[in-house]
């Protein structure tokens, strides 16, 4: 136990940072030898990308030694992780890991493994990827720690409940469910109480698994740090209101990783301060995420992880930039609602009133506001085969946005994780036709 804890601390404090800083230095040397990268399409790459790789790489490296050293929780993306921080949990996000697997293009292999076990290909590719990684032991991060508890919140979809039940059966560990009623208009008082009761039960379970009690002052401080982190993330996104936008919405999909995985930590906030400073500097100098920004677009839903570079290049070549996305924005808005003075009560509101747990009118209101705030003249709504709750109603949303804001809107069929569910040539053809419709 002591040896394992030492390995865990060394990996997080010394080995990980040193390893990834060395890698960043080697990359800089290579670039110096080759000369500065010039692109006729994209602006200069963000310098803080190397710090992002260090931060997330260290998190996964440290995770290899977490079980047996500290309590480990696997959690869904919309779960109130702030409650776990004072108890010393190492949090693993299977969705974040699945996105990484998609970028690394290992999803088909992992999906094949679980499809042979009887899981349907129609199941969310995140779930298939995660369960496939568990079954095969294969992962691009080396190793994921075995969980002591599984924590699941239905505010993003119901699939996570069945997915986590499968994980609980495999690992033979307890599963704690936080069920959030779907919000039509405004949540009712009894809805709030229902969620609050579950949160209080979660605290009891987490304390038993973690082996100690939650210190109210520590929880208050974690919530304060988490709120500040989401504010910083929101300010980073808001930098794209400038013309040209200093980065792209596609960039944002990668830089969202710390606010998802490390929310409530000082490392997370330090990173976003660095990112914000760089973005503000680019705004002041007129440096854009793409070289010739002619049209500004909104992206709805998760990205097509395995083809983000190809898609962004196709659009940027013609002067189209995704300056705002509903998914990255959701992480700024939800976290801003938590309050250090009332950690439990404010968490009830923050984790119930998120975009996927609200009716279409609320989603439309959000998309209208974002479209106006970021001065967009078009939108692409990703009809995601693997995320039906996020995709439902997009035909109606398309019609309303086009009519009310006089903008061009495309519904693009694809999948956020599995390339076998995306017809690339057809998709690029539709995107090209969409762009040709702009004057």
Q: How many CB atoms neighbour CB 188 within 10 A?
A: 12
Average pLDDT over residues 129-136: 96
Q: Rounded distance, CA 39 to CA 314, Å?
A: 14
How many helices (H) and strands (E) would you count in the chain? 19, 8
| Residues whose CB falls within 8 Å of the CB of residue 405, separated by 6 or more in sequence, listed in order | 368, 371, 372
Q: Rounded distance, CA 78 to CA 303, Å?
A: 17
Tell me if 163 sits within 8 A of 131, measured CB to CB: yes
Rg for the chain, CA atoms, rounded: 21
Q: How many CB atoms neighbour CB 137 within 10 A?
A: 8
- What's the pLDDT score for residue 35? 62
Does 196 have pLDDT greater than 70?
A: yes
Q: Rounded distance, CA 439 to CA 428, Å?
A: 19
What's the number of CA atoms in the CB half-sphere (13 Å) around residue 302?
28
Its domain, for residue 277, covers 2-436
Q: Per-residue b/e over 7-43, b at no fewer than 16 CB within 10 Å?
A: bbeebbeebbbeebeeeeeeeeeeeeeeeeeeeeebb
* CA neighbor of 347 nearest in space, from 253, 249, 439, 219: 219
Which is it for the CA torsion 168, 392, 310, 121, positive or negative? positive
Map tokens 């009560």 to a residue: 345
Confidence of residue 40 (pLDDT cuts 50, 70, 90): confident
pLDDT tens digits, one per residue of 264-292: 999 999 999 999 999 999 999 999 999 99
Average pLDDT over residues 149-162: 95
State how many domains the chain has.
Answer: 1
The widest CA-to-CA distance across the chain, in whole angstroms, is 66
3-state secondary structure of 172: coil
Kindly report the average pLDDT of the chain as a whole number.
94
Under DSSP, the state recorded for 12 is I
Does 438 have pLDDT greater than 90?
A: yes
- Cα distances (Å, whole numbers) of residue 106 to 122, 145, 253, 345, 421: 18, 19, 19, 40, 14
- What's the pLDDT score for residue 22? 83
- Cα distances (Å, whole numbers) of residue 156 to 73, 290, 338, 356, 373: 18, 32, 18, 5, 25
Does 198 have pLDDT greater than 80?
A: yes
Q: Rounded distance, CA 412 to CA 305, Å?
A: 14
Beta bridge partners of 380: 299, 410
Helix or strand run (H / E) with residue 295: strand 295-300
| Residues whose CB falls within 8 Å of the CB of residue 375, separated by 6 or more in sequence, listed in order | 241, 243, 296, 323
Q: Rounded distance, CA 333 to CA 336, Å?
A: 5
- What's the pLDDT score for residue 38? 60
Cis peptide before 244 (omega within 30 of 0): yes
pLDDT tens digits, one per residue of 50-74: 999 999 999 999 999 999 999 999 9
Tell me if 171 sits within 8 A of 146, measured CB to CB: yes
Does 304 have pLDDT greater than 90?
A: yes
| Residues whose CB falls within 8 Å of the CB of residue 409, separated by 6 or more in sequence, listed in order | 378, 379, 380, 381, 398, 401, 402
Q: What percent of the chain has pLDDT over 90?
A: 89
Where is average pLDDT lowest: 4-8, 203-207, 211-215, 235-239?
Answer: 4-8
Tell me if 181 sits within 8 A of 191, measured CB to CB: yes
Q: Rounded distance, CA 118 to CA 167, Å?
A: 15
- What's the pLDDT score for residue 28? 79
The residue with greater pLDDT, 29 or 353, is 353
Q: Rounded distance, CA 29 to CA 322, Å?
A: 32
């Amino acid at each position: 136990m002591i040896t394992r804890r030492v390995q865990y601390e060394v990996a997080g404090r010394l080995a990980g940072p040193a390893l990834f800083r060395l890698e960043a230095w080697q990359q800089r040397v290579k670039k110096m030898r080759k000369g500065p990268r010039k692109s006729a399409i994209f602006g200069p790459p963000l310098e803080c990308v190397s710090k992002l790789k260090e931060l997330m790489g260290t998190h996964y490296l440290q995770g290899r030694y977490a079980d047996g050293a500290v309590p480990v929780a696997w959690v869904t993306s919309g779960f109130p992780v702030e409650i776990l921080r004072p108890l010393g949990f190492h949090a693993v996000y299977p969705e974040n890991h699945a996105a990484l697997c998609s970028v690394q293009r290992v999803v088909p292999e992992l999906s094949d493994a679980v499809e042979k076990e009887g899981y349907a290909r129609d199941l969310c590719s995140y779930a298939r990827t995660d369960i496939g990684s568990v079954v095969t032991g294969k992962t691009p991060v080396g190793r994921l720690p075995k969980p002591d508890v599984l924590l699941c919140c239905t505010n993003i979809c119901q699939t996570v409940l069945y997915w986590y039940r499968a994980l609980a059966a495999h690992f033979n560990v307890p599963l704690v469910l936080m069920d959030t009623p779907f919000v039509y208009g405004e949540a009712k008082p009894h809805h709030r109480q229902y969620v609050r009761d579950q949160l209080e039960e979660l605290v009891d379970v987490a304390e038993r698994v973690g082996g100690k009690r939650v210190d109210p002052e520590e929880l208050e401080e974690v919530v304060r740090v988490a709120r500040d982190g989401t504010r910083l993330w929101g300010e980073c996104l808001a930098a794209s209101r400038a013309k040209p936008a200093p980065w792209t919405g596609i960039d944002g999909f990668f830089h969202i990783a710390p606010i998802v995985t490390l929310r409530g930590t000082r490392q997370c906030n330090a990173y976003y301060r660095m990112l914000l400073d760089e973005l503000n500097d680019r705004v002041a100098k007129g440096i854009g995420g793409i070289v010739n920004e002619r049209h500004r677009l909104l992206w709805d839903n998760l990205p097509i992880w395995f083809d983000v570079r190809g898609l962004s290049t196709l659009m940027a070549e013609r002067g189209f930039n995704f300056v705002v996305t509903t998914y990255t924005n959701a992480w700024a808005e939800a976290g801003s609602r938590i309050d250090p003075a009332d950690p439990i009560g404010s968490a009830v509101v923050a984790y119930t009133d998120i975009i996927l747990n609200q009716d279409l009118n609320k989603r439309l209101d959000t998309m209208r506001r974002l479209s106006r705030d970021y001065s967009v003249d078009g939108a692409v709504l990703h009809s995601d085969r693997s995320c039906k709750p996020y995709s439902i109603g997009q035909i109606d949303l398309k019609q309303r946005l086009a009519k009310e804001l006089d903008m061009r809107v495309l519904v693009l069929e694809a999948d956020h994780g599995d390339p076998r569910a995306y017809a690339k040539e057809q998709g690029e053809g539709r995107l090209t036709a969409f762009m040709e419709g702009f004057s």
